[in-house]
Amino acid sequence: MKLSLEYKEKLHCYCQALIQEKKALLKVQIDARKKDLESASKSSAGDKHETSRAMIHLEQEKLGLQYIAVEKQSQLISQISVNLHSSIQAGTLISTQKALFYIAIGLGKVNFNNQQVYIISPVSPLAQAFLNSKSLTGVSFQTTNYTILSIA
């Protein structure tokens, strides 16, 4: 597949939208836990009441950490250059014989424009293999060889 700047820009915007959706969903869940905690505060059921409150607090902490991680991803994706690249670096879109890879943030496999694209973090082992490659023709990672068809 021949990659274009337009395709890369749309993919980048799609990644940003996915991050915003995750943030919104987490915000809704955090707000729901706050309401749960308020209603649990009105109860006076003794030990059962305290256990319920503790579980809600644990869930709030977990959601808070997830929100911080998603916020960090949002910041990282906003710092990535969407220009065309002549070498592999953060922000590079790579077409191989097996798949499309976008080195940006760790979102995993997404379906974009009826194609599967792997959105991978620059610190992931596969991205490191691409980034450390001396050649723009191919990369070997674990037991798989990737032939690079084009980059953007």
| pLDDT interval class at 55 (50, 70, 90) | confident
Q: What's the pLDDT tens digit per position in 10-20?
A: 999 999 999 99
- pLDDT tens digits for range 111-124: 999 999 999 999 99
Do 65 and 103 share a structural domain? no
- Per-residue confidence (pLDDT) for residue 48, from 0 to 100: 62
Count structural domains, the chain: 2
Q: Which long-range contacts link 17-25 to residues 24+ away (Cβ below 8 Å)?
A: 18/107, 18/110, 19/70, 19/73, 19/74, 19/77, 19/105, 19/107, 20/74, 22/70, 23/67, 23/70, 23/71, 23/74
Beta strands 115-120 and 100-103 are parallel
pLDDT digits (tens, 9 = 90+) for 77-90: 999 988 888 889 99
Q: Would you say residue 84 lies in a domain?
A: no
Predicted model pTM = 0.81
Same domain, 46 and 105: no
Is residue 131 within 8 Å of residue 103, measured between CB atoms?
yes
Residue 40 has pLDDT above 80, yes or no: no
Segment 135-150, tens digit of pLDDT: 788 898 999 999 999 8
What was the pLDDT predicted at 42? Answer: 57
Show the domain range for 104.
93-151
Q: Are residues 27 and 60 in the same domain?
A: yes
**pLDDT of the residue at 52:** 76
